[in-house]
Each structure stands twice: as structure tokens, then as C-alpha cells.
């Protein structure tokens, strides 16, 4: 017999909500119609708390906590949209834009991009930091797909979906800090990967134009990620 589910009660933005034990702040907030912006988080993939966009304030804790990996506790008082949080989120996005060459106007996902949408939603109209304009390559060696490192935000959704769902683990991260880069297999052209099944899951979970289908013209690439929750259900909750 399953153990009875323990219920926790807490407040988010002043609203009293109840949650099951083990749920994260992000899950509970979304169940209650409170939207916290996320970028690296994707339902169906293991959360990693990397992008820091979902940072929230919790009363009694001296630092900000990422909502996607912080479990709820009894009596928690969570604030998701203070001025400080909005300022930090804007800054995170600005840093992402300044780090690589995103240039929305000539991007395959222009108009369908999560990064672009977040920037619009959070009112990022200018980038206060100097652009770094790194000289990054495009790997178009795969028959059907392209990876453009200029547009990558290192969310590692591709790494996780390939590992956790497809089980191929083609993708990984190389380097440290600002020099980090997504690599295929042992840092080789994607087209030469022997384990890639060409399933395309990485392409469709990618929030930006970093991964796209070959031959798509500007603004033509739309990502379809509805498949992910179904796949997770079909896997019967296996981890």
C-alpha cells in the first residue's frame, strides 16, 4: 500500500496554497496559476536550476532560491515577483544576449523563441552590457539538423533529453564558465556521431535557434515539445 500523501500549506505572493510533499515551488506556483519565468526548466526533464530565472524570495532564507529545484515546506512564504527579482531576471537575460550572437532578426526561430519571448515579457529593451561577439562555429554536418553555437544559452535541455529520454547521450558540455560549449560525443562533428539516432528531440526542446532543422529559412522553425510529457507518462514514471 502506498504511503499517504502528506499535504503542506504555504503562501505564494500572499496567496494561500496547498501542495503535496516533495513538490517544488515552481510546480505548486504553476498549479495555482502563478507564473514564474523559466528557461532551462522543461516539464518532463530533470530540473537543474541552472538559468536562475526562476529565483524566488523565501521569508527567513537569506538568499534567493531557484523555484524549480526547491521543495515546498510547511508554512513557507514565497514571493515570486518583487522588484528585486524582476531586476535580476532582466539582468540574467541581458547577460545571455551579450554573451553570444543572438541577432533575432535573422534567426530561424524569430517569433517562436523562448529567449525572445522572455525578453519581451520582462521588458528587456536594451542590453546594458557590451556584446562579446564571440566567433563561434555552426555545425551543419548532420544530415537533417544544424547546431548554431552563436544562439546557444547552455540550458542543457538537449543534453538532458538525449540522455534521459532518448538514452543516447550524444550531447554534453565542454569547458568551464563563459567558455562552455555543447559538444557531440567526444567533441566531434555532429554528423559523425555514431550514437545519434537523428530523433530530433534535442532540436525541439531547444528554447532558441541554436538547434534547428536544416533548410529552414528565417522565422520558419517552430519547436514542438508537446511530446515530452506524453513520453514521460508512457515511460511510467521510470527515472
Partner 1 sequence: MAQRIVIDPVTRIEGHAKITIQLDEDGNVADAWFHVTQLRGFEKLCEGRPFSEMPSLMARICGICPVSHLLASGKACDQLLAVRIPEPAIKLRRLLNLAQIVQSHALSFFHLSAPDLLLGMDSDPRKRNIFGLIETNPQIAKDGIRLRKIGQTIIELLAGKRIHPAWVVPGGVSEPLTVEKRDQILSMLPEAKEIALRTLQWFKRSLEDFRDEIRTFANFPSLFLGLVTPEGKWECYHGRVRVVDENGHIVADQLDPTEYQEYIGEATEPWTYLKFPYYKPMGYPDGMYRVGPLARLNIIDGFDTPLAEQEWVEFRELERGAILSSFYYHYARLIEILHAVEKMEELLNDPDILSKHVRAIAGLNNLEGIGVAEAPRGILIHHYKVNEDGLMEWANLIIATGHNNLAMSKGILQVAKHFINGKQLNEGMLNRVEAVIRAFDPCLSCSTHAVGRMPLHIQLIGPDGTLLDELRRD
Question: Could you list the residues that contact partner 1 (CB under 8 A)?
Answer: 105-106, 108, 110, 137-138, 140-141, 146, 148, 191, 214-220
Nearer to partner 1, 41 or 190 (CB): 190
Smallest distance, Å, CB 189 to partner 1? 9
Q: How far apart, in whole angstroms, are the C-alpha atoms of residue 223 and residue 121? A: 19
Cβ atoms of residues 51 and 35 within 8 Å = no
- For residue 148, list its beta bridge partners: 138
Of 102, 101, 98, nearest to 130 by C-alpha is: 98
Smallest distance, Å, CB 213 to partner 1? 10
Farthest CA pair distance, the chain: 59
Nearer to partner 1, 89 or 102 (CB): 102
Smallest distance, Å, CB 178 to partner 1? 21
Nearer to partner 1, 16 or 143 (CB): 143
Smallest distance, Å, CB 181 to partner 1? 16
Nearer to partner 1, 54 or 109 (CB): 109
Nearer to partner 1, 165 or 196 (CB): 196
Which phi-psi region, left, alpha or beta, contains residue 78 (left: φ > 0; alpha: ψ -120 to 50)? beta
Which pairing describes strands 15-20 and 7-12: parallel, antiparallel, or unpaired?
antiparallel
Q: How far apart, in whole angstroms, are the C-alpha atoms of residue 108 and residue 151? A: 10
Smallest distance, Å, CB 108 to partner 1? 7
Q: How far apart, in whole angstroms, are the C-alpha atoms of residue 110 and residue 96? A: 16
Nearer to partner 1, 139 or 166 (CB): 139
Nearer to partner 1, 114 or 148 (CB): 148
Smallest distance, Å, CB 182 to partner 1? 17
Q: How far apart, in whole angstroms, are the C-alpha atoms of residue 210 and residue 116? A: 13
Secondary structure element (H or E) that encloses residue 57, with its range: strand 55-58
Class of residue 35 by CB neighbours under 10 A (exposed 0-12, middle 13-18, buried 19+): exposed
Smallest distance, Å, CB 221 to partner 1? 10
Amino acid at each position: 500500500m502506498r504511503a499517504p500523501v502528506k499535504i503542506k500549506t504555504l503562501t505564494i505572493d500572499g496567496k494561500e496554497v496547498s501542495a503535496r510533499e516533495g513538490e517544488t515551488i515552481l510546480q505548486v506556483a504553476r498549479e495555482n496559476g502563478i507564473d514564474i519565468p523559466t528557461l532551462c526548466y522543461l516539464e518532463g526533464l530533470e530540473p537543474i536550476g541552472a538559468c536562475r530565472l526562476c529565483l524566488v524570495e523565501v521569508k527567513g532564507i537569506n538568499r534567493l532560491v531557484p523555484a524549480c529545484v526547491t521543495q515546498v515546506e510547511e508554512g513557507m512564504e514565497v514571493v515570486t515577483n518583487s522588484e528585486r527579482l524582476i531586476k535580476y531576471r532582466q539582468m540574467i537575460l541581458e547577460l545571455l544576449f551579450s554573451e553570444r550572437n543572438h541577432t533575432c532578426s535573422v534567426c530561424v526561430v524569430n517569433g517562436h523563441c523562448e529567449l525572445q519571448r522572455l525578453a519581451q515579457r520582462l521588458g528587456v529593451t536594451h542590453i546594458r552590457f557590451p556584446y562579446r561577439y564571440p566567433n563561434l562555429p555552426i555545425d551543419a554536418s548532420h544530415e537533417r539538423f544544424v547546431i548554431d553555437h552563436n544562439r546557444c544559452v547552455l540550458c542543457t535541455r538537449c543534453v538532458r533529453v538525449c540522455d534521459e529520454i532518448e538514452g543516447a547521450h550524444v550531447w554534453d558540455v565542454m569547458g568551464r564558465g563563459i567558455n562552455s560549449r555543447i559538444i557531440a560525443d567526444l567533441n566531434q562533428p555532429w554528423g559523425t556521431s555514431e550514437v545519434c539516432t537523428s530523433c530530433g528531440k534535442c532540436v525541439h526542446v531547444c528554447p532558441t535557434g541554436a538547434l534547428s532543422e536544416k533548410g529552414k529559412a528565417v522565422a520558419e522553425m517552430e519547436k514542438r515539445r508537446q511530446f515530452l510529457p506524453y513520453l514521460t507518462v508512457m515511460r511510467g514514471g521510470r527515472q
